Structures are given as structure tokens and as C-alpha cells.
Amino acid sequence: MTGHELIPGFRYLPGHFDRAAQEALVGEIRAVAAAAPLYVPVMPRSGQPMSVRMTNCGALGWVTDRDGGYRYQDRHPVTGRPWPPIPASLMRLWAEVSGYPKPPQACLVNFYDATAKMGLHQDRDESDLEAPVVSVSLGDQCLFRIGGTARKAPTRSLRLSSGDVVVLGGESRLSFHGVDRIYPGTSTLLRDGGRINLTLRRVDP
């Protein structure tokens, strides 16, 4: 995308992680998913399943279900066990790019298969909105869309590749954003294809 400078606080760091670092991260996320299995989240009220599969690591994890709505909790909703810790490489990433003194409390792991997407939304379930959201892409490319703080504000699209990092901070912290599509077969990182997205979040001030 050109012109991403137009949203103050939004940063796009293409290729932040090289191939070796991406492979190491995938190994760490596989270990997270072994302890805290991916599950299919459902939307509040409607109970409609999302197309991504999710898990978390960190003291807190972002969850959604029909009755409880969007929230953070310290347990995996299916196993009832605490989430595994955030890998050290991701803690370092936060220290490098967040510009925020306190560490992240949650890392949401989204897995997209070839047909998954994520509708335009704001990340606003955190009580600390001073901290940015730091996002890592691994595997197949996606079409990421980001707009303004009003749902109907104009949006820009950006093709995110494996190893890219995006920071939603400052005025972009509450920008609407989403993933319109995955481009299957655009990465060899994940043996069976698909895309992993990791978002690091600070929840409490």
C-alpha cells in the first residue's frame, strides 16, 4: 500500500522477520497450539461460527461465544486450562516496536485457511487503548484492509506477506480493519498452506 503514512500511528514493517525467524515462530506457535488447541470461535448472540480458527497465548486470551460476547479471560474456553506463555521472540518484538513500557498480556493466534476472512472491525475490548496492537503475518499472503475510526470511512488495502509486521497505534489504534481474502499458494512456510496471524495486545492499563 502506498499512503499508509496517512493514518498517523499506523506502521507497516514489511519483511520484519526473515525466513529463519518465521520458521522459528511457526515452531513456537505449533507448540502453543499443541497446549492450547485451535478452536472455532462463534459470534455473540447469533452463534455464527467465524471462518478463522483461534487460540491464544499469554496471561489473557481474547475469546468470543454466543452468551458471553467478546472478552479476555485467563483460560482456554474448551480445555479450561491457562494459556501457554507468549514466546520470547514475540515479547522482544513488542519491546522493539510498541513504544509502550508495559509488556503485552495477550497474543491472539488466528489461523486462516484458503477461504477464511475477517470482517471489518475495531479492536476495542482492551481497557488500555494507549498501547498499540502489534500484528505478525506468517504463511500465505492476505488482503488486509484498514480505514478510519468510523465504519464508513474510506479504507485502503494492503497485501500482507509472511514476516510482515503491522502496528496499530496512536490515531490508528481504533481504526476499522479486516482481512478480505487469503491468496492460497503464495508462501511455502506452512506445509499445508494457509495464514497465521498473531496479534499482541495490552489489555489492562
Binding site for Mn ion (CB under 5 A): 123
Query: Of Mn ion, ligand AKG, none, which one sits near residue 118, judging by CB under 5 to 8 A according to partner kind?
Result: ligand AKG
Name the residue number minimizing CB distance to Mn ion. 123
Phi, psi of 163, rounded to the nearest 5 degrees: 95, -10
- Residues near ligand AKG, by CB under 6 A: 108, 110, 118, 123, 135, 144, 177, 179, 197, 199
Nearer to Mn ion, 31 or 153 (CB): 153
CB of 82 to ligand AKG, least distance (A): 21
Among residues 151, 139, 63, which one has the least CA distance to residue 108?
Answer: 63
108 contact, one of ligand AKG, Mn ion, none, CB 5-8 Å limit per kind:
ligand AKG
Instruction: Give me the least distance between CB of 35 and ligand AKG, in Å please.
Output: 20
The Cα 200–Cα 71 span in angstroms is 15
Q: Could you say which of Mn ion, ligand AKG, none residue 144 binds, taking C-beta under 5 to 8 angstroms by partner kind? A: ligand AKG
Measure the CA–CA gap between 61 and 109, rounded to whole angstroms.
9
Task: Please tell me the distance from the alpha carbon of residue 139 to that of residue 188, in angstroms, as a whole number.
Answer: 7
* Minimum CB–partner distance for residue 12 and ligand AKG (Å): 12
Looking at the Cβ atoms of 28 and 123, the one nearer to ligand AKG is 123
Q: Which helix (H) or strand (E) holds 96?
A: helix 88-97
Pick 123 or 164: Cβ nearer Mn ion: 123
Among residues 108, 104, 100, 185, the alpha carbon closest in space to that of 140 is found at 185
CA-based angle 49:50:55, to the nearest 5? Answer: 110
